[in-house]
Amino acid sequence: MKISCIIPAFNEESTIINVIKNVKKIKVINEIVVVDDGSTDNTYKNAKSEEVKVIKHAQNKGKGVAIKTGVSHSSGDIILFLDADLYSISPKKIASILQPLENDEADFVKTSFTRARGRVTELVVKPLFSVIFPFIKFNQPLSGQFAIKRDLLKELKIDDKWGVDIQILLQLVKKGVRISEVDIGKLKHKKQPIENLTIMSEQVIKTILSELGIIANKHKLVLFDFDKTLIRKSSIEVVAKEFGIQKELQKLRVDYKNGKIKDYNITLELASLIKGKTETDFDKIFNKIHL
């Protein structure tokens, strides 16, 4: 049984070497493939310095494309995927991801973290999952660290952009395959600019709704954004202005900034501000809110 590790990377010159060095310490991993997805920094040069296979896209094409490129240039029966922006990855954590597959206890292994989850997970993925997929119980639905059997991966549809991690998970849940979630402890990523989080959030939302089969013309989805993490225009500001709750919203912002309200409570607090409003009320302002 051969194991390949694929590392999609985009402008990760400061972390890519550390990730590669830690993967190299796992003797059961037979090959490492880095896919430089059109980086404009020294990601390619730094990865090549570690004498691993590096494939470079001429321009940024998206994580999904990078994953497909890596798969096509690898030969492992089991494929491990790792993010390139990890500060605290270790051989022990990497080995724990592979163990359920090596022991034939799972067909797909995803990871969870003990640290506070990122805002895209807390504000987008977990709320949507709790409503749309209440039967799916994962601590970390959105994770770039996972391992899967090649034959199973070949059966899946993989889109080009950021939503690919959640897309893979949802398809595998539908298939009913053996899924194991491994807690790998604290994992520190490089902090992403708010613009990247916005794009990522949009693509993750679209992926979840696409996998569910929701079509905009048949169902309505209301998204409230607190700081433009979810969508480009702060939708809650539009709603607050229309409903005359701007003062209440400002107090909520101050409480959040001062740590009195946590990420996972924001949705409930925002909902309480518009309690009692009807569908007709929202219909009047829907055209002012865009993804």
Does any domain span residue 43? Answer: yes
Residues 69 and 16 in one domain: yes
pTM of the model: 0.69
Residues 181 and 237 in one domain: no
Band (pLDDT 50/70/90 cuts) for residue 38 is: very high
- Write the CB contacts of 247 (distance below 8 Å, at least 6 apart in sequence): none
Domain-terminating residue out of 190, 214, 230: 190
CB 162 within 8 A of CB 90: no
Higher pLDDT, 149 or 219: 149
Residues 161 and 277 in one domain: no
Domain-terminating residue out of 149, 173, 190: 190
pLDDT tens track for 126-155:
666 666 667 777 877 778 899 999 999 999
Distance, CA of 102 to chain centre: 25
Does any domain span residue 123? Answer: no
pLDDT tens track for 233-281:
566 777 788 888 889 888 888 888 888 887 667 777 877 888 888 877 8
Residues 233 and 91 in one domain: no
Q: If you average pLDDT over every residue of the chain, what do you get?
A: 82
Does any domain span residue 20? Answer: yes
Higher pLDDT, 213 or 159: 159
Say what the pLDDT of residue 263 is: 65
Looking at the predicted structure, is the pLDDT value of residue 30 above 60?
Answer: yes
Higher pLDDT, 131 or 174: 174
Does any domain span residue 55? Answer: yes
Q: Which of 46-55, 115-124, 159-168, 274-283 has the lowest mean pLDDT?
A: 115-124
- Greatest mean pLDDT among 48-57, 177-186, 201-210, 274-283: 48-57
pLDDT tens track for 66-123:
999 999 999 999 999 999 999 889 999 999 999 999 999 999 999 987 654 455 555 5
Q: Rounded to an integer, what distance in angstroms lies between the CA atom of residue 15 and that of residue 9?
A: 10
Say what the pLDDT of residue 89 is: 93
Say what percent of the chain tops pLDDT 90: 46
Higher pLDDT, 12 or 264: 12
Say what the pLDDT of residue 217 is: 45
Say what the pLDDT of residue 79 is: 99
Does any domain span residue 133? Answer: no
Higher pLDDT, 207 or 189: 207
Residues 185 and 236 in one domain: no
Say what the pLDDT of residue 192 is: 55
Kindly report the three-state secondary structure assignment for every residue of the chain.
Answer: CCEEEEEEECCCCCCHHHHHHHHHCCCCCCEEEEEECCCCCCHHHHHHCCCCEEEECCCCCCHHHHHHHHHHCCCCCEEEECCCCECCCCHHHHHHHHHHHHCCCCCEEEEECCCCCCHHHHHHHHHHHHHHCCCCCCCCCCCCCEEEEHHHHCCCCCCCCCCHHHHHHHHHHHHCCCEEEEECCCCCECCCCHHHHHHHHHHHHHHHHHHHCCCCCCCCCCCCCCCCCCCCCCHHHHHHHHHCCHHHHHHHHHHHHCCCCCHHHHHHHHHHHCCCCCHHHHHCCHHHCCC
Residues 44 and 149 in one domain: yes
Looking at the predicted structure, is the pLDDT value of residue 215 above 50?
Answer: no
In this prediction, residues 156-169 reach a mean pLDDT of 84
Residue span of the structural domain in which 79 resides: 3-115+139-190
Say what the pLDDT of residue 98 is: 98
Does any domain span residue 31? Answer: yes
Looking at the predicted structure, is the pLDDT value of residue 190 above 50?
Answer: yes
Residues 149 and 233 in one domain: no
